[in-house]
Structure 1
Amino acid sequence: MFNKIFLMLFISISACYGQQILFPNKGIQPSICIGENESIEMVFGKGNAFYYASSIDKGSTFSSPVLVDSLQGLHLGVSRGPQIASSRLSTVITSIDKKGNLYANVLNHKTGKWQNRITINDVPEIAKEGFNALTTDGKNTFFVIWLDLRGDKKNKIFGAISKDDGKTWSTNKLVYRSPDSTVCECCQPSIIMKGKQIFVMFRNWIKGSRDMYVTASMDEGNTFQPAIKMGNGTWKLNACPMDGGGISLNENGKLTSIWRRENQLFITKLGEPEQPLAVGRNASVATSNQNTFIAWQNQGKIWISSGQEEPLSLGLGRFPRVISLNEEQAFCVWEDNMAIKGMVLVGSKK
């Protein structure tokens, strides 16, 4: 059964055709990815359970959500929650329980069945903050990162790789350790992969500053380069921002990041100065060679921009996520009072 929606927003003009609830099911913290043939795959949670739905027509309709799994004490809310990525043969969802264990559930595309959950962390109960991020090369390799307390009870970025479509996972690998005790313990990290390249963005905590850093691997996660601070400014803060920003790669492999300092959002290319965008938080970015789509929340509403034009409001909501469908289109999803809402975005033609 498919739930009917048909929404489109042209971000190159000031026109908005409203917003739609995607499912009758209640839920929060939707995460989305692109599958085969520009399909959209989604996971969202409610209580201890999480659900999967998909669209094969660029978001015009979605399948009815199906229960994937239920974890006692599922980490969910405030940017925490299950993450999703899709390859040719499988879809992987990663989730964390409040004991601090990280799991993978794998959908076999040939059989259409979900396998039983797999434990990814090789030291028990070390992901207690509940943040993880997942990516894939689109073939058969997946890479997941999380905040990890092993050894010294200080949060570090750890990762694991699967080279068999999520069926098995490697020994856990240290991706980054802060030289000043810990990385920020309350912000969602981001990860993206293209070929053998992997980029990881996270909020650090050095000498009282909670700034965004990016580390990269050019060899499929075997080694990671020294982390680079994003932007020229700094944010001295003795509190939790609860805001990790987002990253995107276009088809040419150019990295774009969006993140928050104080109440200001900035957009940054790797190695370039930051550019102010708008007041807001919880931003997400998707790029193609032709368009940049940015979504964020401010004062209880969802806003979008191309980064060069005045922001447009999509209506009430929070925690948006946006992905590119092709050179001209993207899809944005968000939560609003336990409803999952979404919209097709259309950029300019060049």
Structure 2
Amino acid sequence: DGSGNPMVIWGRMSDESVFFSRWTGTSFSTPVKLNPTGFTVATASWMGPDIASKGDTVYVVVKQTPENLSSSNIYIIRSFDAGITFSAPIRVDAIADSISRFPTVSIDEAGNPIVAFMKFDSKFMNSRWAVAKSSDYGSTFSKDVKVSGWSGMDAEICDCCPGAVVSSGDVTAMLYRDNLKNIRDIWTGISTNNNTTYTKGFRADNTNWNINSCPASGPDGTIIGDSLYTVFLSGGSGDFRTYLSRSSISNGKASTVSPLTGSITGLSQQNYPRIANSGNAMAIVWKQIVNGRTQIPILFTNDIAKGFSTTIENVDLNDNTNVDVAMTSDKVFVVWEDDNAGTITYRTGTYTPSTTSVKDEIVQGDFSIYPNPASDFIEIEPDKYPGLITIYNQTGANVLEAESQERIDIRCLPSGVYFLKIGNKLSRFAKL
């Protein structure tokens, strides 16, 4: 919430309900059932309702059951007081006789919800991902826009895998598992104009997983500057392993794709990764099975530019299912399902934010930036200057990354003075 306190939702399969609880400063509040009597929602250990917040504005999206009926729709439930009170469900999808499932939600800079969902025709065919946008804080929604289908003419989507919609500034990324002739890699549809249009998409996963059935495991992601960080499951190596990729949004391609861990003695399976960031700090959690026992590991860094620690800590051992993670500027929150106790369990940790100065060990760049000042794009001269381009603000925070290129899109940056770094060389420019 606006005070940095965690808010948690979870589903209960026995009566198809969704519950909410918030941290009050000393404990979690008494759980509140969000779906009204007679209104049931889809929930399982691997999918269900989703939550997003900005300050004290909270949005929860649900799929009404039975899932296979066109009369069962996607709804949003909202709060403007950090979850003290919630509205009645408000319908999101206006899709006639089509069928929907797997809602996911994000929030734009103005505090409006962005809702994505899987969409089928009336015969449960022609699957695709769609996004609907609100400009009145969830009171009404625009007609949904198709955001999948970028891998080829024969592209489908993996129709039992949830997706994730993430946003930053005017950029929104809809992450989903694609299905191109049983190659089930992670792709993303991209909007750079606050969900007005989706004009491109690209593969965030190069593991080439060929499998003839849906693995029922979706991606998660976060955006820092021009970089989209995506976590996902793949069996492309022959084993179920979790991965992290970093993609350039402006270039439309993944620059790195790496497994979250190296070789672990006794490791048989990994799944259900989740990712969160606060500024340049980042945390990743997932579930794995080692020597027949379940674990919830966590990877953390207070500065993603420096990479993750080589040490992987376990948040919990045994009897755990799915896990999620959230962050503030100095705390990490992890929540998971405890199978043995039949409870939702929570842990928190603290960290010191990175204080890296862009002036440390920097050599004045022998390249020029023009125009300077600039309002939308900048160019580097010489234009073939090699290396990863990193842009920092005046506090030293990494706000944008791009591969070497002639033009760099800076429209997502607020007005101010910035430092552009290539290797260990630095030049300054102003954004109007």
Q: TM-score range by the shorter chain?
A: 0.7 to 0.9
Task: Give the aligned partner of residue 174 of structure 1.
Answer: 146
Contact 2:119 2:129 in 1 (8 A): yes
Establish whether residue 38 from structure 1 lines up as the match of residue 10 from structure 2: no
Establish whether residue 228 from structure 1 lines up as the match of residue 202 from structure 2: yes
Task: Give the aligned partner of residue 170 of structure 2.
Answer: 196
Establish whether residue 159 from structure 1 lines up as the match of residue 159 from structure 2: no
Contact 1:101 1:124 in 2 (8 A): no
Establish whether residue 63 from structure 1 lines up as the match of residue 6 from structure 2: no
SS of 1:305's equivalent in the other structure is strand
SS of 2:222's equivalent in the other structure is strand
Matches of 1:221 and 1:302, distance apart in 2: 35
Establish whether residue 304 from structure 1 lines up as the match of residue 304 from structure 2: no
**TM-aligned CA deviation for residue 286 of structure 1:** 1.3
**TM-aligned CA deviation for residue 347 of structure 1:** 4.2
CA-atom RMSD in angstroms: 2.3
Q: How many residues align?
A: 311
Task: Give the aligned partner of residue 277 of structure 2.
Answer: 287
Aligned in 2, Cα 1:88/1:276: closer, same or farther, shift over 3 Å?
closer
Contact 1:101 1:126 in 2 (8 A): no
SS of 1:199's equivalent in the other structure is strand
**TM-aligned CA deviation for residue 195 of structure 1:** 2.0
Task: Give the aligned partner of residue 345 of structure 2.
Answer: 341
Matches of 2:96 and 2:51, distance apart in 1: 22
**TM-aligned CA deviation for residue 228 of structure 1:** 0.8
**TM-aligned CA deviation for residue 138 of structure 1:** 5.1
Matches of 1:286 and 1:202, distance apart in 2: 17
1:93 aligns with one of 55, 60, 69: 60
Matches of 1:111 and 1:44, distance apart in 2: 14
Contact 1:38 1:56 in 2 (8 A): no
**TM-aligned CA deviation for residue 231 of structure 1:** 3.3
Q: TM-score, normalised by structure 1?
A: 0.81
Q: TM-score, normalised by structure 2?
A: 0.67
Task: Give the aligned partner of residue 133 of structure 1.
Answer: 104
SS of 2:260's equivalent in the other structure is strand
Contact 1:297 1:319 in 2 (8 A): yes
Matches of 2:218 and 2:171, distance apart in 1: 21
Q: Which runs of 5+ in 1 are unaligned?
A: 1-34
The one-letter amino acid paired with 1:53 is S
**TM-aligned CA deviation for residue 114 of structure 1:** 2.3
Aligned in 2, Cα 1:206/1:265: closer, same or farther, shift over 3 Å?
same
Aligned in 2, Cα 1:237/1:302: closer, same or farther, shift over 3 Å?
same
Matches within 5 A, 1:103-114: 103-109=75-81, 112-114=84-86
**TM-aligned CA deviation for residue 288 of structure 1:** 3.3
**TM-aligned CA deviation for residue 142 of structure 1:** 0.8
Structure with more relative contact order (C-alpha pairs < 8 Å, separation 6 or more): 1
1:276 aligns with one of 247, 250, 259: 259
Matches of 1:344 and 1:181, distance apart in 2: 41
Contact 1:301 1:318 in 2 (8 A): no
Task: Give the aligned partner of residue 116 of structure 1.
Answer: 88
Which has the greater radius of gyration? 2
Aligned in 2, Cα 1:94/1:127: closer, same or farther, shift over 3 Å?
farther
Matches of 2:3 and 2:229, distance apart in 1: 24
Matches of 1:38 and 1:146, distance apart in 2: 28
**TM-aligned CA deviation for residue 253 of structure 1:** 5.4
Establish whether residue 322 from structure 1 lines up as the match of residue 325 from structure 2: yes
The one-letter amino acid paired with 2:260 is L
Contact 1:200 1:215 in 2 (8 A): yes
**TM-aligned CA deviation for residue 151 of structure 1:** 7.0
Task: Give the aligned partner of residue 183 of structure 1.
Answer: 157
**TM-aligned CA deviation for residue 49 of structure 1:** 1.7
Establish whether residue 210 from structure 1 lines up as the match of residue 184 from structure 2: yes
Matches of 2:78 and 2:139, distance apart in 1: 7
